[in-house]
Amino acid sequence: MSTDALVLVRREGAISHITLNRPRAINALNLEMFEALTVAVAPEAVGDATAILLDGAGERGFCGGGDVKEIVSGDSFKILSTEYRLDYAIAQSAVPVVAIMDGIAMGGGIGLGGHAAHRIVTERSRLALPEVRIGIVPDVGGHLLLAHAPGRLGELLAITAGELTAGDAIALGFADHFVPSNKLEALRVALSEGVDPAAAIAEVAETAPESGLLAARGWWDPIAEGALEGAEASAEAALDATIRLLRVLEADGGAEATQLLETVRGMCPTSVVVTLAQVARTRALGLDLAEVLEDDLRVVVRIGQCPDFAEGVRAQVIDKDRSPKWQPSRIEDLDPAEVAAILAPHHPDEGKLGLAP
């Protein structure tokens, strides 16, 4: 096994240990890695292992997300469909996947770890779905996690590209167990010795830290419940609901509402409306992971072809001036027909994932 490989796969006793190995880029995921991971989690590769341990190399984190420079310049359908099929394979794996989301876990990292059988965070964990900051929307099944978060915290997290601590991640359903980082090696050893994953995790897990984000429900949920009602009905309804939300925040005048309004105004307008529509649709229709991933493929390929995605990547990743010029710059100026085109049902000319139910 070459230690230069972008994905390290080795058998350690009873487990298959898979490590994302691009530490200088916080293990940002590219097509080569998606393909290697797909092979690594396949039943024929896992064999008689009792668990799959999935982690990331380096001190900075598990995974900083997808390599957006590759996506914006490459074959987005091929890249995304390969990624989403991988995410689904991890979720459906007959051999339980133990995902160690230590440090940063964002975007595509949530796709890998957020649907695993055992999702572990540490005191260093920082999770996020920051896509509205770069001109697309949360994908990798993220809308499923957002829709199932308590109250309306999923929408709050999505439209602010907000960050979750370990306590937040567990409270919002993005993770299951809090394991201090100094006990991760003991967990790996126990798993490699064939200890049942649930029992091995129970031996090292501790009570999760409190979630600071849960307290936001007190002021946010009443605002969101009223403003966002019916956002799933149509693209026009989603746009109307988002504008209504902005007006309520403006009228509120409180410190939290004012800060939230300023934050949302800095995000990509199209992304904010589309992601609110997608969260509302996922919740209203009770979509499962396979259905959400199909939605993700359709919507993200479309929105990724808009100028805002290239501009968001330029501003946040390439030039790093953090000053994207969105088209249009305000949610109120969005064309409902353009939003509707992004959210429209699947067209026969578009590819599908075809995931088994």
Same domain, 289 and 226: yes
As a whole number, the mean pLDDT across the chain is 96
Report pLDDT for 208.
96
- Which amino acid is present at 195? V
pLDDT > 90? residue 204: yes
Same domain, 12 and 136: yes
Same domain, 158 and 220: no
Residue 151 lies in a domain: yes
Residue 77 lies in a domain: yes
Same domain, 63 and 176: yes
Same domain, 53 and 183: yes
Q: What is the mean pLDDT of residues 73-93?
A: 96
Same domain, 174 and 142: yes
Residue where a domain terminates, one of 204, 233, 255? 204
Sign, CA torsion 77/72/38/35: positive
Residue where a domain terminates, one of 204, 222, 251? 204
Residue 355 lies in a domain: no
Same domain, 30 and 67: yes
Report pLDDT for 74.
85
Same domain, 173 and 243: no
Report pLDDT for 2.
58
Residue 268 lies in a domain: yes
Residue where a domain terminates, one of 160, 183, 204? 204
Same domain, 104 and 226: no
Same domain, 197 and 227: no
Q: What is the domain range of residue 113?
A: 7-204
pLDDT > 60? residue 1: no
Same domain, 217 and 337: yes
Residue-wise pLDDT for 191-203, tens only, equals 999 999 999 999 9
Residue 46 lies in a domain: yes
pLDDT > 70? residue 188: yes
Residue 197 lies in a domain: yes
pLDDT > 90? residue 246: yes
Same domain, 187 and 332: no
d(CA 324, CA 267): 9
Q: What is the pTM of this model?
A: 0.96
Residue 353 lies in a domain: no
pLDDT > 70? residue 13: yes
Domain containing 29 — which CATH number? 3.90.226.10
Report pLDDT for 357.
64
pLDDT > 90? residue 53: yes
d(CA 223, CA 245): 7
Q: Based on the structure, what is the number of domains in the chain?
A: 2
